[in-house]
């Protein structure tokens, strides 16, 4: 094999090839670094947002001229002599909402409003029932200020009432905390009480609105709420 000495032209061409390879490697490493950084700082798509910080009523308002609201040990306490609702400042459309409620002893009734509408001294719309009576329609869908018990159950339909009672069973705990989950996506409305699906229907009356918590108006009674949070759906 002959040993041919390298020419200046050959050396120059070899240097260009080396620089091209080095440049490509640097670009590849830079792109990899950028992708890694982006994936780290991107927030998860299913992140929950607290609606109640456990210390203040920030993000909530009382559209009524009556009703007392206190924050006690990480809970929202509602007291009144007449029915009122505490509602969120923000409106929501498609979401999963969760909240805990403890009814007072004695006569009591409450609910979680969702996709609801607000006027001075008036809140109306969808309500997830919290029923402290022997009837126990907790987890039912009540249309506050409009159609009342129109679907789950339909108060005028014995079969609907019986079917709801079978679905709900004894999942609601009258003298303990109860966890509600409400899922709204398009015209699909689902209510769960302590992990049991009590309502799963379709209705297109409302597409968006506020979240609300209710004091039913029993004089001197205090309704307690905690762990209020929401996950908006895309």
Q: 171: buried, middle or exposed (CB in 10 Å: 19+, 13-18, 0-12)?
A: middle
pLDDT of residue 20: 52
pLDDT tens string 39-96: 333 345 569 999 999 999 999 999 999 999 999 999 999 999 999 999 999 999 999 9
Q: What is the pTM of this model?
A: 0.81
Q: What's the pLDDT tens digit per position in 183-215?
A: 999 999 999 999 999 999 999 999 999 999 999
Task: Please name the CATH architecture into which domain 50-232 falls.
Answer: Sandwich (2.60)
Rounded-to-integer distance, Cα 83 and Cα 75, Å: 19
Whole-angstrom distance, CA of residue 227 vs CA of residue 27: 48
Whether residue 231 has pLDDT greater than 70: yes
Backbone angles phi, psi at 57, to 5 degrees: -100, 25
DSSP one-letter string for 99-166: EEEEPPSSS-EEEEEEEEEEETTEEEEEEEEEE-STT--TT-EEEETTTEEEEETBTT-HHHHHHHHH
Average pLDDT of every residue of the chain: 87
For the chain, the first-to-last Cα distance in angstroms comes to: 71
Instruction: Dump pLDDT digits (tens) for 90-103.
Output: 999 999 999 999 99
Task: Say whether pLDDT at 104 is over 80.
Answer: yes
Bridge partners, 212 (sequence order): 87, 113
Spatial distance between the Cα atoms of 29 and 37, rounded to a whole number of angstroms: 12
| pLDDT value for 134 | 94
**Structural domain boundaries of the chain?**
8-37, 50-232
pLDDT at position 234, please? Answer: 85
């Amino acid at each position: 094999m002959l040993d041919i000495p390298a020419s200046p032209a050959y050396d120059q061409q070899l240097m260009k090839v080396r620089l091209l390879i080095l440049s490509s490697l640097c670009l590849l490493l830079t792109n990899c670094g950028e992708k890694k950084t982006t994936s780290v700082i991107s927030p998860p798509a299913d992140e929950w947002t607290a609606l109640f910080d456990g210390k203040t009523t920030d993000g909530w308002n009382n559209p009524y001229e009556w009703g007392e609201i206190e924050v006690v040990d990480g809970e929202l306490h509602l007291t009144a002599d007449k029915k009122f609702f505490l509602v969120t400042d923000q409106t929501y459309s498609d979401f999963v909402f969760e909240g805990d409620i403890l009814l007072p002893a004695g006569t009591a009734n409450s609910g979680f409003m969702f996709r609801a509408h607000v006027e001075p001294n008036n809140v109306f719309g969808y309500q997830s029932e919290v029923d402290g009576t022997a009837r126990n329609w907790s987890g039912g869908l009540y249309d506050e200020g409009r159609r009342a018990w129109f679907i789950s159950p339909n108060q005028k339909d014995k079969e609907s009432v019986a079917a709801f009672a079978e679905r709900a069973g004894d999942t609601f705990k009258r003298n303990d905390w109860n966890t509600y989950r409400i899922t709204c996506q398009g015209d699909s409305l689902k209510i769960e009480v302590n992990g049991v699906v009590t309502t799963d229907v379709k209705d297109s009356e409302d597409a968006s609105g506020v979240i609300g918590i209710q004091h039913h108006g029993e004089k001197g009674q205090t309704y307690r709420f905690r762990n209020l949070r929401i996950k908006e759906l895309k």
